[in-house]
C-alpha cells in the first residue's frame, strides 16, 4: 500500500424516477462543495437500473436543475444501463468465487418464512435455503450475496463517527435478478470502485445500506471509500421532506421565482454552518468556508420563511436590468412590461424591495396601476375635508406641471413637493396625493409612483381625483 493520498473524487448518483428533489440537490451541493474545496472531482452518475420507473424526462430535469443551480460536474453523466457488461463481469466473478449464489426460492416461500420470523419477533432475513446447494443459472430466480455470519462491520462516518452493524442480522441479500440485471446495492459498489470514488457523501437514509456495500466491496477486493451521511431535510412536522407537505422539486422553486444563488445559499445552511456565523454567502464564499466536520448530525427543517428572506436579499441586490431579464425569461416580455421598457425598469428599481420571489412581481406591477376608489379612501382615516383635499391637489397639480422632465424622479419630486407638504400638513397632502395616484389604502409612496408612471399619467390621475371631488 502506498501512502500517496488518493485524489478526492465524489459523486452524485440520483435515480431518474422523479424530478430533481431538494434533498438530492442538497446532497449534490455538499459533494460539489467538498470537491471544489479540496481540488477534487465531482462525478455525475445516473442510476437508471430500475427500467420500469426511470424516465428520460426525469433525467433531463435533473440535468437542468443541477445546471441551473450551478453545480457543475467534472465527469459524466454516466448511466448504469450503459455499464451492464461491467456489472455482469463482477457478478460472474463473485459467483465463481462462491461469494454469491443463485437462489430458487419462490416469493410465496419467502413471504411465509418472513411471516414466521416476525411472529417469533426475529429480524426478518433470508433463511439461507439455497445457500449451500447447487442452483443453476437457469433455475435461479435471483442472485444472492453470501453474507458472513458472525462479523461486525464498522466504519467511521466523517460526520457521525464510528458506526457498526452485525452481519448476522443482515442475511444473504439479493444483489441481482440475473447477471444482466444488477440491483442497487451491488451496482453502487461496482460503480464507486470503478469510478475511484474516494468519499461517499449521501443522505442519512443510506446508513443501513453502508454495511451491505462494504461487505460486497470487500468480497470483490475493492478499496473502501470514506463515508459521510448527511442529515435529512425535514418537513415542519419533522418527517423526511416529501411532496405531501411541501414543494420538493427544484424546478418548482425556479418557477416560483427563487434565484439559484438564494436556493444554494439556503440549502447549504441546512445542516451546515460556517465558523464565522455568516448567513448570506456567494457560492465561492461557501466553498472557502466549507468544512465537512461542521456538518450537523440531526435533521433540519426546511423553513421557507428563511428562504424567502434570503431570496429577497438577493433580489434587492440585482439591478433593474438583471431583474427584467430574469422576469422576461420566466413569464415572457408581454407580461412583464409596464408601458415602455424604460418605465418597467424604473418600476423594477422602485419595486424590487417589495419582492420576496420573482412571482411577487405581478402584485408589484399591479401596485403601480390606478385602482378604482371612492371618496372615503381619498379622505383617509383622518377624514380630511373635501375642500382641503381639493385645494391641496390643485396646488399639487400646478407644482407637478411645473416640474421639469429631467427632475421628474423620486428625489426630484420630493425636493419639489415636500416643502409644501410640510407647510400644509403632511397627512393632508401626501395621503390624498398617494390615493389619487394609486386608488389604494396601501401602496408604494407617491413620489415612487409618479417617477415610474411619468408626468402625463400622474397629472391624469390627479385630474381624475379632482373630478371625483367636485362631482
Partner RNA sequence: GGUCCUAUCGUCUAGCCCGGCCUAGGACGUCGCGUUCUCAUCGCGAAAACUCGGGUUCGAAUCCCGAUGGGACCA
Residues recognised as catalytic: 243
| 3-class DSSP assignment, residue 311 | helix
Closest distance between RNA and the C-beta of residue 232, in Å? Answer: 5
Nearer to RNA, 39 or 162 (CB): 162
**Backbone angles phi and psi of 368, in degrees to 5:** -100, 0
Task: Decide if 102 contacts 198 (C-beta within 8 A).
Answer: no
Nearer to RNA, 88 or 235 (CB): 235
Q: What residues line the site for RNA (CB under 7 A)?
A: 114, 118, 121, 123-124, 160-161, 163-166, 169, 204-205, 207-209, 231-232, 234, 237-240, 269-273, 275, 277, 279, 294, 296-301, 303, 305-306, 308-309, 313, 316, 353-354, 380, 411, 414, 418, 421, 426-427, 430-431, 434, 440-447
Task: Decide if 268 contacts 296 (C-beta within 8 A).
Answer: no
Closest distance between RNA and the C-beta of residue 304, in Å? Answer: 9
Place of cell 427543517: 301
**For the residues of 106-144, what is the DSSP string, one character each?**
-HHHHHHHHHHHHHTTPPP----TTTTS---TTT-SEEE
* Sign of the dihedral defined by the CA atoms of residues 440, 443, 448, 452, in that order: negative
Q: Is the peptide bond before 138 cis (omega within 30 degrees of 0)?
A: no
Nearer to RNA, 301 or 362 (CB): 301
Nearer to RNA, 225 or 271 (CB): 271
Nearer to RNA, 190 or 417 (CB): 417
Closest distance between RNA and the C-beta of residue 51, in Å? Answer: 18
Closest distance between RNA and the C-beta of residue 399, in Å? Answer: 14
Alpha-carbon torsion, ordered 47, 49, 53, 54, to 10 deg: 50
| Residue 17: DSSP 8-state | S
Three cell numbers at 404?
Answer: 421639469
Q: How far apart are CA 130 and CA 51, in angstroms?
A: 28
Closest distance between RNA and the C-beta of residue 437, in Å? Answer: 10
Amino acid at each position: 500500500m502506498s501512502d500517496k493520498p488518493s485524489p478526492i473524487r465524489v459523486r452524485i448518483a440520483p435515480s431518474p424516477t422523479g424530478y430533481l428533489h431538494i434533498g438530492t440537490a442538497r446532497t449534490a451541493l455538499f459533494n460539489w462543495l467538498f470537491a471544489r474545496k479540496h481540488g477534487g472531482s465531482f462525478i455525475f452518475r445516473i442510476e437508471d437500473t430500475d427500467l420500469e420507473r426511470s424516465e428520460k424526462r426525469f433525467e433531463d430535469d435533473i440535468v437542468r436543475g443541477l445546471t441551473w443551480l450551478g453545480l457543475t460536474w467534472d465527469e459524466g453523466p454516466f448511466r448504469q444501463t450503459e455499464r451492464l457488461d461491467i456489472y455482469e463481469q463482477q457478478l460472474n466473478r463473485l459467483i465463481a468465487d462462491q461469494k454469491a449464489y443463485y437462489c430458487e426460492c419462490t416469493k410465496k416461500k419467502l413471504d411465509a418464512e418472513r411471516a414466521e420470523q416476525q411472529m417469533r419477533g426475529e429480524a426478518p432475513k433470508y433463511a439461507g435455503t439455497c445457500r449451500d446447494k447447487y442452483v443453476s443459472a437457469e433455475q435461479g430466480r435471483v442472485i444472492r450475496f453470501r453474507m458472513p455470519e458472525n462479523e461486525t462491520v464498522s466504519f467511521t462516518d466523517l460526520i457521525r463517527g464510528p458506526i457498526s452493524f452485525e452481519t448476522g442480522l443482515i442475511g444473504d441479500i439479493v444483489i441481482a435478478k440475473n447477471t444482466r440485471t444488477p440491483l442497487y446495492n451491488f451496482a453502487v459498489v461496482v460503480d464507486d470502485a470503478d469510478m475511484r470514488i474516494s468519499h461517499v457523501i449521501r443522505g442519512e437514509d443510506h446508513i443501513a445500506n453502508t454495511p451491505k456495500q462494504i461487505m460486497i466491496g470487500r468480497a470483490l477486493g475493492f478499496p473502501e471509500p470514506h463515508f459521510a451521511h448527511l442529515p435529512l431535510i425535514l418537513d415542519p412536522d419533522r418527517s423526511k421532506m416529501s411532496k405531501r407537505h411541501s414543494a420538493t422539486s427544484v424546478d418548482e422553486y425556479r418557477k416560483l421565482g427563487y434565484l439559484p444563488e438564494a436556493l444554494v445559499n439556503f440549502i447549504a445552511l441546512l445542516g451546515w454552518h460556517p465558523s464565522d456565523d455568516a448567513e448570506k454567502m456567494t457560492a465561492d464564499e461557501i466553498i472557502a468556508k466549507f468544512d465537512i466536520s461542521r456538518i450537523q448530525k440531526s435533521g433540519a427543517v426546511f423553513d421557507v420563511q428563511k428562504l424567502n428572506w434570503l431570496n429577497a436579499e438577493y433580489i434587492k441586490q440585482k439591478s433593474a436590468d438583471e431583474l427584467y431579464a430574469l422576469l422576461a425569461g420566466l413569464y415572457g416580455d408581454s407580461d412583464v412590461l409596464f408601458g415602455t421598457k424604460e418605465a418597467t425598469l424604473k418600476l423594477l428599481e422602485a419595486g424590487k424591495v417589495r419582492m420576496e420571489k420573482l412571482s411577487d412581481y405581478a402584485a408589484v406591477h399591479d401596485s403601480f396601476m390606478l385602482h378604482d376608489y371612492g371618496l372615503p379612501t381619498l379622505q383617509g382615516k383622518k377624514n380630511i375635508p373635501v375642500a382641503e383635499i381639493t385645494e391641496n391637489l390643485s396646488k399639487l397639480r400646478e407644482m407637478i406641471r411645473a416640474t421639469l422632465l429631467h427632475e421628474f424622479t423620486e428625489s426630484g419630486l420630493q425636493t419639489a413637493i415636500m416643502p409644501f407638504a410640510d407647510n400644509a400638513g403632511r397627512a393632508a397632502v401626501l395621503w390624498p396625493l398617494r390615493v389619487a395616484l394609486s386608488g389604494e389604502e396601501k401602496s408604494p409612496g407617491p413620489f415612487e409612483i409618479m417617477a415610474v408612471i411619468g408626468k402625463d399619467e400622474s397629472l391624469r390621475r390627479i385630474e381624475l381625483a379632482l373630478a371625483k371631488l367636485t362631482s
